[in-house]
Structure 1
Amino acid sequence: MGSTLAMTAFGALAIGAGAGDSPAQASISAQERLGWVQAYDIPRGPMAPALNAFAYVNGLHIAYDARVTQRLTTPGLAGAYSVREGLSRLLDGAGLAYRFSDNGRAVSIVLAQNDRATMNDAGGATPLPTIDVGADAARPKSSGASGAAKGPGDRHTGYTAESAPTTLKTDTPLLKSPISVRAVTRQTMDDQQAISVGDAVLTNISGVTPIPNLLDVYKIRGFSVSQSTYKNGLIELRSRYLDTANLQSIDVLKGPAAMLFGRSEPGGLLDLVVKRPLETPYYSIQEQVKSFGGTRTTIDATGPLTADKSLLYRVNAEYYRTDSYRDFVTDRNFFVAPTISYRPIEQFRINVDFEYQNKTWVDDYELRPAVYDHPANIPISRYLSAPYLTTNLKNHFDKKRIAYDWTYDISKDWSLTNRLSYTSLGTTNGNVAGAGFNQITGVLSRTYVYFPGNTDNTFATNLDLKGKFETGPLSHSVLVGFDYLSNYWGMKSQIITPISAINIYAPNYYTLDVPRGGGFAHSGEQWTGVYGQDMISFFDDSVHVLLGGRYDWNAVSSSGGYNSNWLTGYGNYKTVYSSAFSPRVGVVYQPLPFMSVYGNFAQSFGSNNTTNYSMPQPPQRGEIWEAGAKAEFFDKRLTLTMAYFDITKTNIPTADPLNSTITYLIGKARSQGFEFDLTGRIDDNWSVIANYTHDDVRTVEGSAANALTVYNSNLAVAGKVLASSPRNYGNLWVKYDADDAFKGLSLGAGLTVTGSALGDNANSYVLPGYALLNGMISYTTKIDDFTVTAQINVKNITDTVYYPASQDRTYIKTGTPRTFLGSLRVEF
């Protein structure tokens, strides 16, 4: 947007898509542009976001008077129309008209001459000023909501999103949904230089906390989401080492999502939304350097493969290497993700995604004991694993994934979508676990577990039919679907052996430990589900009732055995069958167009995927009651969500700290709390991400063992707080984008405050509370035809020592010390 527009007396807003025309575009006449036919699915509602969505689809720049449009609504636009037909329908009955520029790429929305109700003081129709679509188009002053303008490469999305169509499987605006969904946008990840998914979600979404685990596992609303990570709506089973290089956003759905996804945890789920190819050619290369010897190179290239732009491509790739603040730890990662999009006709579109990842590393297994009622007072750099084993038997991870999703528009109100993915993982890894600790002498007993060859293959697919219709005064938005999951996991020659003990205060790394023992394990799972829901709207689209249900069939099979001199016996192949119905009911009331209150009830169904050698565990069940409020401010640029939740969960798996192959089950646990999220742009200069969570997570039904057994075995007892569950925590991130003489300069600052937490299920020690301070400065400028951005982020500025999570008395996660991360990005 040009500065001329920003200075207009009416505070007009310019919306653009595509900073400039390609040579192919430039050769097309204005009349040809305006005759193009596009398919639209813009819901009825406020005028401004509808115009924004229309502009983005057509690559137009639209200027309008925000003071007028904030009071107007549109009947929406569904089906295929030319640009002129589409604009006319959007503006129907609003007292507005439109005027195109000579090149057909810019539109001024004007007051219609015959509509006195919307006339300006001069008594005539006044078009807004001509739009300057120069360098500013690379960083539009928009919130990044669905349909809003995005800069080159869809990077400048703002901090908030208006909808989550991949995660909700419908285009229902978040304001009208009784489900709490928050998104971490591409711009958030770029501004904070979030390399991993954990970097992105742990401070930007309320209710999300870390837990120590070899997989990419987090807590949402107090409960682990170990089997609830999805990518474009399909499960990423046993996901690990997830990178942000090819992600457009990360959606976090709160509460049980079983109605839509079947297998899920009651706390919520993560859905990773990948970048899609663009019609406008775009190329980016970024080089990052960080503390502890880290370097990361990423590329992003996209554009059309055919002149008619029916076939598009995008390639994201990364090479990352780093050492660690922890002794002996290293990491090397290569990742590439090409994508193809094809639209042979207006009604049909398909995306095909490929991924390949190859990673070699020395695992930073968080082996660190508690001493009496606090974590051991030793340097956070100290390595308590066995470097002779871990550095010579490095971990290796090889991942291949292919997926597609296609949608066919049956009519303007009905569409069919199919998604499918196949993932093959090959893993070699080992780690050292604690097997007992003498608090007086400081001697830690250890066990080495090594998996020299695991295979993990997952096939997932689903089919969704969605549509809209009316029955009298009721408007219906329906979804019916089917999904299927099949997984096979195989482990060969697992080595489980005691190794030499280590003194945590004076470690000796020169002992030679020889692994011995071996075995096998196999497991398989099949999951089938059918589901349906209806969103019913009435009372002038101010009340929305969601009714949904799902039925699942699940079969888990496993076998295993060991043949060492200290563990004997072979397991028999066993299969456990289960099935369940999972309902969801929700209500939303909109007393004002920009505000809603909601409530919902839902149940979830999941499997534990943990074994006592070869015995599958019974499935988990969850239940939630939730109530809250949502609001949108400043033309949907700033969003607010507040929620109260009450969740119960049964059959929670907990590892035995003295034997990692044994899993206990907690009978029942409960999470009750309140959360608050404020995200988006306050004005053209200031953006904010603020969240707060109050959560009480306790065992309701647990072990009745005596106190000594509870202490030694880390058992859960009724009334005790679950491990690593702080009662209060919150985050604040504020960014300032300068203009005028300092245009291109951005400054950011963040604060994370977390209260104390109990370190284990027996509540025998405490993780102290902490506060972290982060900062960012970046500068963007144009050099010839290149956009160059230099940026520095500093995390944990005060170099605070903290412990963000724990599992038991020997497994405590340490926080990363002060870290500098610099980058240079070139875009063209």
Structure 2
Amino acid sequence: MKGIFTFFVIFFACIAGAYSQSKYELRGTILDIGGLPLTGASIQVAGTSFGTVTDLEGKYSLVFDKPGDYNLKLSFIGFKTIDEKVAISKPVFTRNYKLEEEISSLQEVEIMGRKEEGYKNTSTFIGSKTQTNIKDLPQSVSYATKELILDQGLMRVGETVKNFSGVSQFTFYDDITIRGFRINGGSNTQLVNGMRSTSGFWKQPLINYLERVEVLKGPSSALFGNASPGGVVNRVTKKPLDINRNSLSFSMGSFNNFRGLADFTGPANKSKTLLYRLNLGYEDAQNFRDLQFDKNIVVAPSFSFIASEKTRVNLDLVFNNSSSRLDRGQSTFENDLYSTPISRSLNTANDYLKEQTYTITTSINHQISKSISLNASYMKTGYNEDLQEHRSSNSYAVDGTGNTIPTMVGRQVFIRKRSRFVDNLSSYLNINTTTGSLAHKLVVGYDYARESLAAGGSQLTASGYRNASNTGSIARFDPSKPQNYLLDAAGNPVPNVSHFDLENPIPSQAMQDMSKYFYAQVGYDPTLYYLNGFYAQDQITLGKLEAMIGVRYEVYTDFENYKKEGEQKVNQNALLPRLGLVYKANEHVNFYGTYVEGYNPQTASTIANPNAGGPFDPLESSMVEFGMKSDWFNKRLELTTGIYQITQKNTLYPVAGETDLLEQIGEESAKGVEIDLVGRVLMNWSVMASYAYNVAEITESPNEADLGKQKPNAPKHQGNLWTKYDFDQGALTGLGIGFGTNFVTERNLSLSATQTIPGYTLMNAAVYYTTGNVRLQLNVNNLTDETHWVGGYDYLRLFPGAPRNVLGTITFSF
């Protein structure tokens, strides 16, 4: 705490010192060629983050600490950029500008870095495989730009989803729900730059190398193959820029949190044909949870080679090395949610989790002719896991009569190693043509994806109770046969792994002698699947109407008993249509409607139990969605509203009276309303807001009690507001303040249990000060210190949110 206190003393001393200096003001107006003011135009000192935007009358004001020559960059979406050197030598200097409109085609592949700044992102590639204005896409997209991520002091994808309508955490792993349907990092349906990828389920890596996080709502199988019906998360990495931008950032905060980040980009040669970007990240952080910590190193270089006006090549590498402990959640006394502190974890001091993940991507964009371009990308992903953990056995301890002891949690031990690899090839043609009065934007492509779990994946498990001779263990205690078990002096069965004492946790959290346990070996047998996908899509424009028609044919190939006797290839085919329509009512308002279908295989690679039966038909889903997208205040503010209904069938349920067998008799649905607002209200007032109402329930089930139940960890209501105001006039120039709140309502933890977790409302705040090339930032999260839970499975595995915490950051731009 002494180090944090010293940091904040220096933080506020810097602010006070900055205000005592002399000021030099540059002011003026930015207009278009016709003399109309450009509201929200950016004027920035080149190579730094110091700058401002114009007000409703096109006026701007920049205040410098000292005189000198400054290289200014003026920009506005759709207008040519102006670069000019200005000599500031007197207290007030006036300079007016006019920007010329620029007519340029949208790039066909996300290979060049995004120069647009702020919370609003104008275009995306995720919904159509070509750069499309989000307003023109007939499907809902939510996103968080790097500027929003920076202002909120976020470092995990799970932290960003509070800003998205209909998206919430399921646990605090890489694990979320979208419109009531669950996806996670190990599901191989998450995307990096529109390419299928994989990561560890347990820990979320740093996101300092990301340009933005975006979610395409609803089934996305028509473009990306098998995926969750709720939507897909796409992580867009930062790309090289053709201008120099460099920054160093250092943060300190609660729970002994420290991280250092670096971002360097610019041209590598005078001709600007070779561009580079290098993002580095280091994190050493403790946690409000007992025994938890995270040490992460991220190295993410990227290169763009502009071979000619027609050909661009990009290379991206992201390497993450993580050392931590796996946190299986908070356990409470039986059915008593508030009986233990949210800090309580069941780990011991010699537990560990070591993960290494890399993705390497090569992509090329070649303009074959004025109307045809070729895009091809290949991504390789590797993931390695090395785990040793003490965790709950998902049950309480039992005494000699078989009754539970509500203050003692049964424990088990996992020691596991495994590796997983994903190969992903995506190639497609973009064809722009016309037939009569119809304009066509065609995408014709082929995808190949392959995932394998390498040989040698295996786990040692210690669990259950010791047998009478103390030579092994028995999975469960049977009180009718006490003679089979080793009993203590009180007649209670002796556990293989000592129970966790919720009332006296310190001895349970001390280092344990791993050699004293009896282990059973569990194999993670090698698995392999691959898919071949062929798709075509046409965006057809006729006046104010724009239709999107697409279809994908996919062959999913899996292997039962892979690399064993009786190996058998299993194929599943899917034909997936996509229909969308946009009506451009006027320059600012679009109405849209869409129908999409999706699927997700249920085969040996996705079902862990080899005795489950099958092969099963895939999960089949469909969605109907209608909505409106509009922009306001000279296109600075974007509003999206939508209503939807998603249905998924072929859900697996256990066969009555059988131990392992499953049958396809389930159906589930989600329907709701979403509202998203993002952008700038005024030149120096940014906002991000969302609201969602979602009814996600079971509509067909062999268990009548399940019918009509809200799905686990899917709140019916949730909302978010974040706003930031920058002072750009008077004595407070350079100062900014931010405030946010988000809420979710009560959630079910499972379908089979009646346990719930309460809703919550959190408030967060931030203060910023920018002077020259230096930005100081202080974030305070959970201002009211509200006890809350972001998700969970039951009261033995709860995932509490962080109590009140602070984070101070200093950033140098050069």
TM-score range, shorter chain: 0.7 to 0.9
Give the TM-score normalised by structure 1: 0.77
Q: Is 1:719 equivalent to 2:708 in the alignment? A: yes
Q: Which of 462, 486, 490 is equivalent to 1:497?
A: 462
Q: Write the letter of the residue equivalent to 2:325.
A: V
Name the structure 2 match of 1:814: 800
Deviations for 1:717-751, whole angstroms, at most 9, x for unmatched residues? 22222111211110111110111122221100001
Q: Write the letter of the residue equivalent to 1:580.
A: A
Name the structure 1 match of 2:630: 631
Q: Which of 542, 545, 548 is equivalent to 1:546?
A: 548
Name the structure 1 match of 2:230: 267
Q: How does 1:432-443 map to 2 (within 5 A)?
A: 432-437=391-396, 441-443=405-407
Q: Write the letter of the residue equivalent to 1:549.
A: V
1:461–1:401 distance in 2 versus 1, CA, 3 Å: same
SS at match of 1:500: coil
Deviations for 1:687-720, whole angstroms, at most 9, x for unmatched residues? 1111001011111122338x7xxxxxxxxx2222
1:661–1:750 distance in 2 versus 1, CA, 3 Å: farther
Q: Write the letter of the residue equivalent to 1:362.
A: R
How far the C-alpha of 1:557 sits from its partner, in A, is 2.7
Q: Distance in 1 between matches of 2:609 and 2:236?
A: 35
Name the structure 1 match of 2:146: 186
Name the structure 2 match of 1:321: 284
Name the structure 2 match of 1:395: 353
Name the structure 1 match of 2:374: 416
Q: Which of 118, 141, 151 is equivalent to 1:158?
A: 118
Q: Distance in 1 between matches of 2:166 and 2:368?
A: 39
Q: Is 1:704 equivalent to 2:669 in the alignment? A: no
1:788–1:515 distance in 2 versus 1, CA, 3 Å: farther
1:155–1:309 distance in 2 versus 1, CA, 3 Å: closer
Q: Which of 528, 532, 543 is equivalent to 1:524?
A: 528
Deviations for 1:481-527, whole angstroms, at most 9, x for unmatched residues? 11011111135331222133223333341565625111322211101
SS at match of 2:138: coil
Deviations for 1:101-150, whole angstroms, at most 9, x for unmatched residues? 9x8899xxxxxxxxxxxxxxxxxxxxx963399xxxxxxxxxxxx99xxx
Q: Which of 300, 309, 321 is equivalent to 1:346?
A: 309
Q: Write the letter of the residue equivalent to 1:721.
A: Q
Q: Distance in 2 between matches of 1:404 and 1:449?
A: 41
CA contact (8 A) 1:611 1:661 kept: no
SS at match of 2:682: coil
Q: Which of 604, 607, 610 is equivalent to 2:607?
A: 610
Name the structure 1 match of 2:487: none
Q: Distance in 1 between matches of 2:591 and 2:630?
A: 9
Q: Distance in 1 between matches of 2:115 and 2:207?
A: 13
Name the structure 2 match of 1:731: 720
CA contact (8 A) 1:183 1:251 kept: yes
How far the C-alpha of 1:156 sits from its partner, in A, is 7.0
Q: Is 1:764 equivalent to 2:726 in the alignment? A: no
1:395–1:239 distance in 2 versus 1, CA, 3 Å: closer
Name the structure 1 match of 2:69: none
Q: Which of 207, 215, 232 is equivalent to 1:252?
A: 215
Q: Distance in 2 between matches of 1:664 and 1:356?
A: 41
Identity %: 26
Name the structure, 1 or 2, with higher relative contact order (CA <8 Å, separation 6+). 2
Q: Is 1:130 equivalent to 2:128 in the alignment? A: no
SS at match of 1:392: coil
CA contact (8 A) 2:114 2:239 kept: no
Q: Write the letter of the residue equivalent to 2:593.
A: G
SS at match of 1:345: coil
CA contact (8 A) 1:362 1:395 kept: yes
CA contact (8 A) 1:158 1:187 kept: yes
Where in structure 1 are there 5+ consecutive unaligned residues? 23-47, 49-58, 65-75, 77-85, 88-99, 107-127, 134-145, 148-152, 562-569, 708-716
1:199–1:3 distance in 2 versus 1, CA, 3 Å: farther
How far the C-alpha of 1:243 sits from its partner, in A, is 2.1
CA contact (8 A) 2:625 2:644 kept: yes
Q: Is 1:578 equivalent to 2:598 in the alignment? A: no
Give the TM-score normalised by structure 2: 0.79
How far the C-alpha of 1:242 sits from its partner, in A, is 3.0
Q: Distance in 2 between matches of 1:642 and 1:823?
A: 35
Q: Write the letter of the residue equivalent to 2:28.
A: T
SS at match of 1:412: coil
Q: Which of 435, 439, 452 is equivalent to 1:475?
A: 439
Point out the more displaced range, 447-456 or 330-339.
Answer: 447-456
Q: Distance in 2 between matches of 1:318 and 1:662?
A: 46
Q: Distance in 1 between matches of 2:615 and 2:40?
A: 57
Q: Write the letter of the residue equivalent to 2:707.
A: A
Q: Distance in 2 between matches of 1:194 and 1:213?
A: 14
1:154–1:549 distance in 2 versus 1, CA, 3 Å: closer
Q: Distance in 1 between matches of 2:211 and 2:372?
A: 26
Q: Distance in 2 between matches of 1:277 and 1:7?
A: 30
Q: How does 1:610-689 map to 2 (within 5 A)?
A: 610-613=607-610, 618=616, 619-652=618-651, 667-689=666-688
1:10–1:613 distance in 2 versus 1, CA, 3 Å: same
Q: Which of 779, 782, 787 is equivalent to 1:801?
A: 787
Q: Write the letter of the residue equivalent to 1:728.
A: H
1:489–1:684 distance in 2 versus 1, CA, 3 Å: same
Q: Distance in 1 between matches of 2:205 and 2:175?
A: 10
Q: Write the letter of the residue equivalent to 2:370.
A: K
SS at match of 1:799: coil
Q: Distance in 1 between matches of 2:756 and 2:647?
A: 24
Q: Write the letter of the residue equivalent to 1:130.
A: N
Where in structure 2 are there 5+ consecutive unaligned residues? 1-24, 49-57, 59-71, 87-93, 100-105, 108-112, 398-402, 464-496
CA contact (8 A) 2:409 2:502 kept: no
Name the structure 1 match of 2:28: 4
Q: Write the letter of the residue equivalent to 1:223.
A: F
The count of aligned residue pairs is: 689
How far the C-alpha of 1:573 sits from its partner, in A, is 4.7
Name the structure 1 match of 2:177: 219
1:420–1:225 distance in 2 versus 1, CA, 3 Å: same
Q: Which of 393, 407, 426 is equivalent to 2:384?
A: 426
CA contact (8 A) 2:534 2:554 kept: yes
Point out the more displaced range, 728-737 or 801-810.
Answer: 801-810
How far the C-alpha of 1:179 sits from its partner, in A, is 1.2
SS at match of 1:518: strand
SS at match of 1:175: helix
Q: Write the letter of the residue equivalent to 2:758.
A: P
Name the structure 1 match of 2:272: 309
Name the structure 2 match of 1:712: none
SS at match of 1:161: coil
How far the C-alpha of 1:679 sits from its partner, in A, is 0.6
Q: Distance in 1 between matches of 2:414 and 2:152?
A: 36
Q: Write the letter of the residue equivalent to 1:768.
A: P
Name the structure 1 match of 2:416: 452
1:665–1:770 distance in 2 versus 1, CA, 3 Å: farther
1:720–1:410 distance in 2 versus 1, CA, 3 Å: same
Name the structure 2 match of 1:237: 198
1:654–1:448 distance in 2 versus 1, CA, 3 Å: farther
1:671–1:802 distance in 2 versus 1, CA, 3 Å: same
SS at match of 1:260: helix
1:586–1:771 distance in 2 versus 1, CA, 3 Å: same
Q: Write the letter of the residue equivalent to 2:191.
A: Y
